[in-house]
Amino acid sequence: MDETGISTIPNRTPNVITPKGKKTVCKISSAERGQTVTAVCCMSATGVSDPPASVLPRKRMNPLLYKDAPNGTLPLIRDIGYMNSHLFIDWLKHFVKHAKPSAEVPVLLIADNHTSLCSLPAVLFCRENHITFLTLPPHASHVLQPLDKCFFAPLKALYSSEAEKWLAKNPGKVITQYEVQGFIKTLIAPQPGFNSQKNLSELQVLSHTTLTL
């Protein structure tokens, strides 16, 4: 499993086509200051993914925020929009619900070595639910974490593209937390020509194990 921050205001500058010699190129952009939503994704070595979780920067939950979310999304809130040890326990319960680890079929869960994930309650919960919790060395997830290497980069590129289209279709409006889940649902839907297992082929050896990333 891994987390990534998604801003309501995309920070990717797209390529544009313009007549030769044109010195000024304009595009629609939002004048608002963006908010960061933390997307939590989990995928097996065979390319099977669990429903995502999202941590919104809020103090109170509003069901309308998740009305367009992918089916099974775990709604989480925290005032700063990032994961902490308490929310991670909620995510582990969500993971157990979908992965269904057991004494006969235990799972290996690989995650970052971050303090929000490495709490004693989390370790005990994993032990009680037949999960072997393996953390990556510090400052190495960009090399060893397949979701970092093969999934989040294209996800953010597609998000920026969808956000640009939305702004063009809705002039004068800004992207808020209420639109983010709809974008995520569009992005994680199966894309033509996309093969999760192939994209994770750098760790093909792990596909022969009961592994969750």
In a domain, 211, yes or no: no
Q: What is the pLDDT of residue 209?
A: 42
The proportion of the chain whose per-residue pLDDT surpasses 70, expressed as a percent, equals 77
Q: What is the pLDDT of residue 125?
A: 97
Structure confidence by residue, pLDDT tens digits, 42-88: 988 887 889 999 999 999 999 899 999 999 999 999 998 899 999 99
List the one residue out of 110, 92, 94, 84 whose CA is nearest residue 209. 110
Structure confidence by residue, pLDDT tens digits, 166-203: 888 988 888 889 999 999 888 876 544 444 445 545 44
In a domain, 202, yes or no: no
Task: Locate all alpha helices (DSSP H) within 10-151, ordered by sequence.
Answer: 85-99, 120-128, 141-144, 146-150
> First and final CA of the chain: distance in angstroms?
5
CB 181, CB 54: distance < 8 Å: yes
Confidence class for position 12, pLDDT limits 50, 70, 90:
low
In a domain, 196, yes or no: no
Instruction: Please give the tally of structural domains in the chain.
Output: 1
In a domain, 48, yes or no: yes
In a domain, 205, yes or no: no
In a domain, 144, yes or no: yes
Q: Is-above-0.75 flag for pTM? A: yes
Structure confidence by residue, pLDDT tens digits, 98-145: 999 999 999 999 998 888 999 999 999 999 999 999 998 887 777 778
Q: What is the pLDDT of residue 186?
A: 85
In a domain, 56, yes or no: yes
Q: Which domain holds residue 57?
A: 2-18+33-189
| Amino acid at position 39, single letter | A
Structure confidence by residue, pLDDT tens digits, 19-41: 766 666 555 555 556 788 999 99
Q: What is the pLDDT of residue 207?
A: 45
Tokens in use for 186?
A: 């569009």
In a domain, 24, yes or no: no
DSSP symbols for 111-174: E---TTT--HHHHHHHHHTTEEEEEPPTT-HHHH-HHHHHTHHHHHHHHHHHHHHHHHHSTT--
